[in-house]
Amino acid sequence: MLTMPGSPDPCVIVIFGASGDLVARKLIPALYEMAACNALPEQTRVLGVSRTEMTDEAWRERLQPWVKEHAARFDESTWARFATRLHYLSGSAADADIYPGLTERITSLSNGAKSGGNILFYLSVAPSLYEAIVERIGESGLVTEGRKWCSIDRDNVPWQRIVIEKPFGHDVESASRLNLALGRVFEEDAIYRIDHYLGKEIVQSLLVFRFANTIFEPLWNHRYIDHVQITAAETLGVGHRAAYYDGVGAIRDMIQSHLLQVLALVAMEPPTTFAAHHIRQEKIKVIDAIEPTPIDRLHEFAALGQYAPDEHEPAYHLSDGVPHDTTTETFAALAFRFDNWRWADTPFYLRTGKRMASKRTQIVIQFKQPPVQLIRHLHQLEVGPTPPGNQIVIEIAPRGGVSLRFQGKVPGSGVRLDTVAMDFDYADRFQAEPIESYGPLLIDAMRGDQTLFPHRYEVEGTWRAVAPFLGEESATIRRAIHANYEPASWGPAAADVLLQRNGRTWVNG
């Protein structure tokens, strides 16, 4: 919702994988929230597709408790109205046989609701099915707009768009194969690769923070900034997802997508305008400027870990469904450098992990020290550590907010320094209730606004950036990974060493 809001077009949202966890926990509660605040056009209908045999009514009943639990606010009468817009079709989306029935159902819902023939496909299925489903959609004839994109008057022509969940590929090759498969059916303008981090209010406000103010941008470069830390720490373990997670790991699950997207927003140049293509162009450029990591020096750029056991959960490598010799990381701290003018010699440290000390997602902009420690010299204050340089801490979770931390004088005789902060709390200031970030993103897709959806080159670029940490050579940084960090800690000792090597420390609060 960064660009000027046009209104969303009504459509039929076809959700493949409708009986899955994500749909119940996130998508439907998000759509409900959008309906509750009148952001979802009245004529929009949702058609869930999945192999489980179910009636419309059974699907609605199954979803209701999830919406009650996960939506910001629940109200029986709003739900009753919303539920009549939920429909269900059983069948396998990868199977060509269901498409005649699916087409008929979409047409009848669209005609009944007068939603104008627009279709928003949503792939919430196992990634291994993506290509097959996209191909089936192509063969079905449901996508009529794509190729004629430039030559027609768009206003009177129904559109078809597709939203795809992460993981978007497994590496550079699979991501670009998937992009090609999508491109055979949909124009790039109709492809919405969803990353729920970009739907978080405070992540979106990063661009406003940087580019609607004048006081930060002159400092936003290697001359003043020593380094940047981006952390997404979680307290939960992998739990019942262990078998799936083991094929993925923290780098694929969090860094390639969420954290590198945040990095792009922090590091990009000012866009020409706030239009989607201008913002995406700048993100592509800065992702392309990430220096390739030398594979013979991976340990200087990465620290990986797996959590140890405690009374609540076994050690990761002993979890059910995980091979006991697994080297998949549940924690990763990676250092990235840019080969560009703005960020020369300013590393960006990205860190994420399961079972850590607290649920905390934040960006720390760490400024350099003053050129001379004048106050210390003046007063011959030789004791105590050097005070930390100035910091801007942009907190994404648990609260949204920005804090500017700097040195102040402790009252009293003599000069004693302490860190003080100027704080902005998003919820307090705007009385804003946190909403599920999928909602605004889906509305954006219905408005045809791709600002908050990564372009194919961003996805391929971020896969390239993490590739050295995932390939065979990464065996060197996966040695002795088992149980190398305690639950409720900030990760393995190697993560501290990664920063200490350059005289830096992690900011955990």
- List, in order, residues 6 or more apart from 21 with CB less than 8 Å away: none
Instruction: Determine the Cα–Cα distance for residues 368 and 221; give it in Å rounded to an integer.
Output: 11
Binding mask 379-398 for ligand BG6 (x = CB under 6 A): ------------------x-
Site for ligand BG6 in 180-199 (CB under 6 A): none
SS3 21: helix
Looking at beta carbons only, is 327 or 361 nearer to ligand BG6?
A: 361
Rounded to a whole number of angstroms, the minimum distance from the CB of residue 216 to ligand BG6 is 25
DSSP letter at 5?
A: P
Q: How many residues sit in the footprint of ligand BG6 (CB under 6 A)?
A: 5
Min dist. Cβ of residue 441 to ligand BG6 (A): 12
Minimum CB–partner distance for residue 64 and ligand BG6 (Å): 23
Return the number of the residue (54 or 262) whose C-beta is nearest ligand BG6.
Answer: 262
- Site map (CB under 6 A) of ligand BG6, residues 232-251, x = contact: x-x-----------------
According to DSSP, residue 24 is labeled: I
In the complex with ligand BG6, the residue whose CB is nearer, 437 or 474, is 437
Judge contact between 490 and 352, C-beta under 8 A: no
Decide whether 226 or 253 has the Cβ nearer to ligand BG6. Answer: 253
Q: Nearest-CA neighbor of 192 among 453, 451, 12?
A: 453
- Rounded to 5°, the CA angle 396-262-489 comes to 55
Q: Are 337 and 256 in contact (CB under 8 A)?
A: no
**Nearest C-alpha neighbor of 205 from the set 454, 3, 2:** 2
Rounded Cα distance between 282 and 346, Å, is 19
In the complex, minimum distance from the CB of residue 392 to ligand BG6, in angstroms, rounded to a whole number = 20
Q: Which residue is nearest to ligand BG6 (CB)?
A: 253
> Can you say whether the dihedral through the CA atoms of 477, 463, 253, 168 is positive or negative?
negative
Closest-CA residue to 459 (of 249, 277, 227, 288): 288
CB of 26 to ligand BG6, least distance (A): 10
d(CA 267, CA 278): 15
Beta strand spans in 33-129 (E): 45-50, 86-90, 119-123
Q: Is residue 231 involved in binding ligand BG6 (CB under 6 A)?
A: no
* Residue whose CB is less far from ligand BG6, 181 or 397: 397
Residues labelled catalytic: 258
For ligand BG6, the binding residue among 9, 145, 226, 253 (CB under 6 A) is 253
Rounded least distance, CB 452 to ligand BG6, Å:
14
Residues 318-377 that bind ligand BG6 (CB under 6 A): 361
CB of 204 to ligand BG6, least distance (A): 14
Q: How far is the CB of 295 from ligand BG6 (least distance, A)?
A: 26
Nearest-angstrom CA–CA distance, 389 and 366 = 7
Give DSSP secondary structure letters for 250-303. Answer: HIIIIIIIIIHHHHHHHHPPPPSSSSHHHHHHHHHHHHHTBPPPPGGGGGGTEE
Beta carbon nearer to ligand BG6, 226 or 234: 234
* Choice between 253 and 449, CB closer to ligand BG6: 253
Shorter beta-carbon distance to ligand BG6: residue 256 or 474: 256
**Three-class secondary structure of residue 348 per DSSP:** strand
- Nearer to ligand BG6 by Cβ, of 219 and 397: the residue is 397
How would DSSP label each residue in 437-463? THHHHHHHHHHT--TTS--HHHHHHHH
Shortest reach from residue 454's CB to ligand BG6, in Å: 13
Q: Are 87 and 105 in contact (CB under 8 A)?
A: yes
* Segment (H or E) for 397: strand 391-397
Q: Which helix (H) or strand (E) holds 331?
A: strand 331-336
Q: Which residues are near ligand BG6 by CB under 6 A?
A: 232, 234, 253, 361, 397
